[in-house]
Amino acid sequence: AQKVTQAQTEISVVEKEDVTLDCVYETRDTTYYLFWYKQPPSGELVFLIRRNSFDEQNEISGRYSWNFQKSTSSFNFTITASQVVDSAVYFCALSEGAAGNKLTFGGGTRVLVKP
Amino acid sequence: DAGVTQSPTHLIKTRGQQVTLRCSPKSGHDTVSWYQQALGQGPQFIFQYYEEEERQRGNFPDRFSGHQFPNYSSELNVNALLLGDSALYLCASSYVQGTDTQYFGPGTRLTVL
């Protein structure tokens, strides 16, 4: 069965500091997809990034970057130079087989960025 | 390009009642999924609809049922409401027969008294 664990429940930083969110996943499938979503106080889940199991290349997109390591089943996410608007709950999620299949979410990490 | 829309925004019901939540997918999307998010937790998958049929289902009782219409919009029905059904209900849509990333709507907050 698939499982996603986010060990950090809450992180508090001062604006302009970097924030790294940890995510560990479990799956028996060889084809799977990993996602990060952001949930601001309004409640809507906003898609941030997606990687598939065949592409371990780590990338940077603006202030976001991610570190995907199959050897440790981890998919960590970093926000560089955090801003107050980054304050939200961040969820890591996993789908098996196809990107559109059911998502299994972690418990979420609340990020509070103080001015 | 309109995103995923859901109605109503908030809803208050009493135990034993029935509720219907509605979702319109993003333009061009053909697959709709529903999730339940209890306070302080991650979303839990309820089921997914494609071509008006239920494709996948999570670990939810039969009190939870759904429907997809020819225009790809969807409804989630919950019968015999329990206090534990109080949650944020999120709808997500995707395209290419559900093989692409799921995009979420703003959710419907259901309170059961």
Q: Dihedral angle at the C-alpha atoms of A45, A58, A83, B6, nearest 10 degrees?
A: -10
In this predicted structure, the answer to whether residue B98 has a pLDDT above a threshold of 70 is: no
Give the mutation candidate from B101, B108, B109, B111 for the A interface (greatest A CB count, under 10 A): B101
Q: Do A104 and B45 touch (CB under 8 A)?
A: yes
Tell me, yes or no, if A45 comes closer than 8 A to chain B by beta carbon: yes
pLDDT tens-digit readout, B66-91: 999 999 999 999 999 999 999 999 99
Tell me, yes or no, if A41 comes closer than 8 A to chain B by beta carbon: no
How far apart are the CA of A54 and the nearest CA of chain B, in angstroms? 16
In this predicted structure, what is the pLDDT of residue A98?
83
* Burial category of A63 from C-beta neighbours within 10 Å (exposed 0-12, middle 13-18, buried 19 and up): middle
pLDDT tens-digit readout, B32-70: 999 999 999 999 999 999 999 999 999 999 999 999 999
The percent of residues above 70 in pLDDT, for chain A, comes to: 100
Cβ-Cβ contacts under 8 Å for A106 (sequence gap 6 or more): A4, A5, A6, A23, A91, A92, A93, B42
Range among A43-52, A80-89, B1-10 with highest mean pLDDT value:
A80-89
| Cα B89-A7-A67 angle, rounded to 5 deg | 95
Peptide bond into A40 cis (omega under 30): no
pLDDT tens-digit readout, B6-37: 999 999 999 999 999 999 999 989 999 999 99
